[in-house]
Every structure is written in structure tokens, then in C-alpha cells.
Amino acid sequence: MTTTVLVTGGAGFIGSHAVEELLAHGERVRVLDNFTTGRRENLAGVTEAAGVAGRSGYAGDLEVVEGDVRDTATVAVAAAGCDRVLHLAAIASVSRSFDDPQETRVVNVDGTANVLAAARAAGARRVVLASSCAVYGTTDALPVPEAAPPHPESPYAQSKLEGERLCRAACTDDPNAGTDGFDTAVLRFFNVYGPRQDPSSDYSGVIAIFMDRLARARPCTVYGDGHQSRDFVYVKDVVAACRAALDGRAPGGGPLASGPQASRPLVAEPINVGTGVETTLHDVLAALAAASGREPVVRYAAAREGDIRRSRAACERAAELLGFRASTAFREGLAATWEWYLSTAQARAR
């Protein structure tokens, strides 16, 4: 029997890549997106990339529900008949979370509560939550393990941590959780980059912003001294982790079983999704110069509130529970992203 996967935020940067991957592997997908930051053209494009015949720009196995995770009735409609849920919809901007902490909380916390409730009511067997390495805050433990005490330093990070707690509570409240009932998985994404990341958005990562500035021969602004580091993980690798969490994997990556019991119970145990490699902003600029053949002009500004100094993921738990390891080298992913950026910039210019 064919089942349906709900992807909230499925028209966004990570979401559209997840939809593409799921369609390419024969899944039926339903997207819930309010198109505030997600783009319809992302969904129109994934059907061709996935090799699925489309109608009105959408694949026959792709449904789209336009709506907001804050609306309980809309979320219930979107979740109806879905077997699994990938919950990506969120306000993902640290700076915006300081400007409007209440909206951040309503979307990221109340929205997650709505998704969990609707998924359980629909009889879904698993919800995969996109959380963030921001929950760790500044830590001396590098690479940072999932057992590190959380120390959120922004309303955004706090909202993600509260979303994780809702996932744990959803499992705890269900006597069947972790066996043949309702289950949740929590993926703590590190710094995701890749094609379709909008450099003009408040939610953009530094790589997309640097590419935009470089392509337009404008200075790249570094907030701080440039020695701050991140664990940059390519979007295709992130999607592979999401799919493993949705499907269930045994140690070593093989499927546990077939059919509705294929998921290994994860009961909201947090799992880092990163590379285990620490890359400074100076390293990013050097790699971007090599990929583009252009030398960035760099300006420095004061460090921003809520920015973490160093970040690097411990990846053993992802390998153990999901059979997942990131496979895209940073320079390889950066070159592919630059190529995509130039092609889309040229298309926009025509």
C-alpha cells in the first residue's frame, strides 16, 4: 500500500530538496507551506528533477496544501492520511527571533505542537523534527555530542529546544511510543548550504550571502574576526539523513524490515546532522575564491548577538541510529552551489 509523507515547509530550501528525493524514490508527498519564504517555483522544479510526470507544474504524486502550521484546522487537513511527517516549517532566523521573539515562539513551538497533535490524530507512525545545533549555544566540547547540556542563546534556539521537548512528551504520553505506535525523531541540523538557498532572505546562510555579494562584485561582510567556525553540511546530505529518519535504518544503513514496522524506534532522541568538520569563515572565503575564480573583497563588522563562536558536530549517533554519514566534501558542495547560483542568476537576467 502506498503511503503519504507530509513535508511541512516543503516549498523552502531544504524542504524542496526533501520533496525531490522522496518523489524520486516513489513516495507520495503532501506539502504544507504558507509560501512566506518557500517558493512555488521550487516545487515546480522538483517534479522534473525527480523524473515524475507533472500536471499544472506539480507531480501526480505531489499534493500542495497552502496554509500555516499555526492554523490547527489546516494542519489537520494536511496530515490526514499521512503515514510519516517531516516537520521543516519554522522561523529559522536568529536575528529575526530577537526582533520578534513572540512570533518565533508561536510558529516554532505552537506550530510544532499542532503538527504533532495532527499527526497522532491521523495515525501517523513517525514525525521527524528539524531542530538545530543552535540549542547547544557556546560550548567547550568539540565536536559537540548530543549529550552536551543545551545552552540556547537566542529565542530561535530556545524555540527549537522547546520543540524537541514537545516531541519527547508526545512519545512519553503514548503508551505505544517506540514500539508499534507513535514515534518522533529529532535531527539537529548544523549549518546547511546548497542550491535553492535564497541569498536575499533573512533566513539565508552565510554561504548564499557571500555568493550573492561576490557575483555582484560587492564586499562580503564578516561579522567578527572571521575565525569563527561552523560545521557546513550540504543540503543533499541533510536530506539523506531526513529520509533515513523517516524510513528507519539499522546500524550500518540497511533497512530494518519492510512494511509498516520498518521504523526503528527513536523516541525523540536528538541526532546531530553534520560533517564533523570545522570550517572558519576565512576558509569559506578561500574556498569560494577557488570555486569562482574571483577574489572576494572582505569588510569586517562587530559580531552579532546570539552568534556562536565555534561549531562542529559529533556524528557517531547518526551513524549508529540512522546509518548516516555526510558524503559531500565542502569544496565539492560549494562548487556545485556556485554553479547553480550562476545558472539561476543568468536565467533571471534573460
Q: Are 59 and 23 in contact (CB under 8 A)?
A: yes
Q: Which three cell numbers stand for residue 269?
A: 532522541
Q: Are 166 and 192 in contact (CB under 8 A)?
A: no
Helix (H, G, I), strand (E, B) or coil at 59: strand
- Of 172, 35, 160, 178, the C-alpha closest to 105 is 160
What is d(CA 229, CA 233) in angstroms, rounded to the nearest whole number? 13
DSSP 211-251: HHHHHTT-PEEEESSS--EE-EEEHHHHHHHHHHHHH---T
Measured over the CA atoms of residue 11, residue 16, residue 21 and residue 24, the dihedral's sign is positive
Q: Which three cell numbers stand for residue 198?
A: 535564497
> ∠ CA 188-190-193 to the nearest 5 degrees?
130
- Residue among 156, 193, 234, 341 flagged as catalytic: 156
What is d(CA 187, CA 136) in angstroms, rounded to the nearest whole number? 13
Helix (H, G, I), strand (E, B) or coil at 183: strand
> ∠ CA 260-185-61 to the nearest 5 degrees?
55
Edge-to-edge strand list for the sheet holding 126-132: 62-66, 28-33, 4-8, 82-87, 126-132, 183-189, 270-273
Is 203 in the active site? no
The residues that are catalytic are 156
